[in-house]
Amino acid sequence: MRLLHAFLALSLTISSAVWAAPPSVFMEELTWTDVRDATQAGKVTVLIPVGGTEQNGPHMALGKHNARVRALAGRIAASLGDVLVAPVVAYVPEGGIAPPTGHMRFAGTLSIPDDVFRGTLDAAARSLRQHGFVHIVLIGDHGGYQAQLKAVALRLNRDWASTPARAHYIAEYYQAFAIDYPQALRAKGLSDAQIGTHAGAADTSLMMAIDPSLVKQERLADNPRAGSGNGIIGDPRSASVPLGQVGVELIVAKTVAAIRSARGVPR
């Protein structure tokens, strides 16, 4: 009987801990009343994370950008403490479809026209404003559409000029990956040829730190060469979780500071 009572007490403790867990920052995991209550309680900032579905060499999954931007957006929201995260925009411009250009030359890549992409972001932002969000933040994990994120934010702000609502394109998110992160890797002894610009050591390390299941480790022993037609620009063989964690910390810190600045909140 004592064992039974101990088991029941433990079960109640675990159940209480589960019920006491803080709500998710991801809107798709919340109910509509959760979102309503959150905005009414002052959580009026929302992130729209933009990913992409493209080839990332033979060793890394097509969903790299989507998985990465969702995870990083979650960490950014948790650091800020008063932010929710909208579902990831996974369909982005990746090149011409027929004939295929850019990443569309590789199987599995999905591409949409520029105007469809901008229209999707515009409608998503307006939907969120309608539901009470005041700060709509655009962050993008892919270099190819950064100018379009900025253009969408500018258009929204022109339309919202007489309202409290604002759209914020946070360039620092991608700049931290494209500029600050490679600099940090150089300081650790990696060459530009290793770091690369697509599916190399930087890209692969960051994915390994966020979700190693999306990296096929057994394929990292191959000898990738830039321009070989396998989608890699760089050399992923030196990729590691610790190197990826450097990028995670940089991206989160830089983006959190930029969002605070954009909202007029002291760093």
User: Considering the domain boundaries, does residue 267 fall inside one?
Assistant: no
Number of structural domains, the chain? 1
User: Considering the domain boundaries, does residue 66 fall inside one?
Assistant: yes
Average confidence (pLDDT) over 222-243? 85
Query: What value does the mean pLDDT of the chain take?
Result: 92
Residue type, 76: I
* pLDDT > 50? residue 18: no
pLDDT grade for 76, boundaries at 50, 70 and 90: very high
Q: Say which DSSP state 179 is in.
A: I
pLDDT grade for 210, boundaries at 50, 70 and 90: very high
Total-model pTM: 0.90
- And the tokens for 27? 């809107």
User: Considering the domain boundaries, does residue 14 fall inside one?
Assistant: no
- The residue among 177, 168, 144 whose CA lies nearest residue 69 is 177
- And the tokens for 251? 């991206």
| 87 CA to centre of own chain | 10
- Cβ partners under 8 Å of residue 96, min gap 6: 102, 104, 111
Strand partners, 182: none
* pLDDT > 60? residue 15: no
Listed as own residue / partner, the contacts of 148-152 with beta carbons closer than 8 Å and 24 or more positions apart are 148/93, 148/114, 148/117, 148/118, 148/121, 149/50, 149/121, 151/118, 152/118, 152/121, 152/122, 152/125
* pLDDT value at residue 23: 85
User: Considering the domain boundaries, does residue 11 fall inside one?
Assistant: no
User: Considering the domain boundaries, does residue 224 fall inside one?
Assistant: yes
Q: Which of 135-139, 173-177, 221-225, 227-231 is predicted least confidently? A: 221-225
pLDDT grade for 14, boundaries at 50, 70 and 90: low
pLDDT grade for 11, boundaries at 50, 70 and 90: low
User: Considering the domain boundaries, does residue 190 fall inside one?
Assistant: yes
Q: Which domain holds residue 154?
A: 22-262
Count the Cβ atoms, other than its own, within 10 Å of residue 172. 21
List the CATH number of the domain containing 152: 3.40.50.10310
User: Considering the domain boundaries, does residue 16 fall inside one?
Assistant: no
Q: Answer for the pair 39, 131: CB distance below 8 angstroms, yes or no.
A: yes
Phi and psi angles of residue 252, each rounded to the nearest 5 degrees, phi first: -65, -50
User: Considering the domain boundaries, does residue 15 fall inside one?
Assistant: no
